Amino acid sequence: MIIFPAIDIRGGKCVRLLKGDFNQETVFSDSPAAMAKKWQAQGAEYLHLVDLDGALAGSSQNLAAIEEILKNVDIPTELGGGIRTMEQIDKLLSLGITRVILGSVAVKNPALVKEACAKYGERIVVGIDAKDGIVAVEGWGESGNIGVIELAQKMKAAGVKTIIYTDISRDGTLSGVNVEATVKLAQESGVKIVASGGVKSLDDIKALKAHENDGIEGVIAGKSIYMGTLDLAEAIKNAKE
């Protein structure tokens, strides 16, 4: 199981939001690249990058910071936030991003997901962000009016192999990951799932690790590793056992 340290970028800085609320922001570093190097030094094998300004604008806004990260680490990276066109996908993958995360567009333009999967295969992942089992889109500001499992099944049919599932109600809260909903999604969709939202401690890692065979590919650690409630190196060790 892979532990993905999260680096959320806003205005060129590394920040965390509470429950996706842009008014509840904590800045953790002025240099996302320095943060990326720190996580790699602690054993990270894959980084989860989010362009928060991009998620709102609908196009990449923090390319300078992202390119700086790519220059400073030699581990794979995935990037989400405002990726809505084939042109953007082509550009980001050619920059050296390992895989891109399509979010809102999966609900609004599933044909693009299908086209991207046909062209890039497993370099395309879909992020499904949900609250109470209903998908949220556009920087979490509106409802997509579709259930999580239904969307996941549609994405599988479009060729998607991996889905990042975020429980918005827990994101940035350190209240524990929604293991039950995540495992249910993995079982019912038949797609590999990366869990996100609410990760607090080693208990969350162990609980998800127990369901690795159900299709849990990994877990994204954000606030927990920034606040120190989870030790990244220890989490990676447990995830590898």
Q: Which residues are tagged catalytic?
A: 8, 129
Q: Quickly count: other Cβ atoms within 10 Å of residue 149's Cβ.
A: 17
- Host H or E run for residue 227: helix 223-227
Query: Using an 8 Å Cβ cutoff, are 34 and 57 in contact?
Result: no
Looking at beta carbons, which pairs linking 108-114 to residues 24 or more positions away fall under 8 Å?
108/137, 108/144, 109/84, 110/154, 110/155, 110/158, 112/84, 112/85, 112/86, 113/155, 113/158, 113/159, 113/160, 114/158, 114/159
Cβ pair 168, 140 in contact under 8 A: yes
User: Any idea what the Cα angle at residue 27 is, between residues 166 and 102, rounded to 5°?
Assistant: 30
Report the interhelical angle of 202-209 vs 179-189 (nearest 10°).
Answer: 30
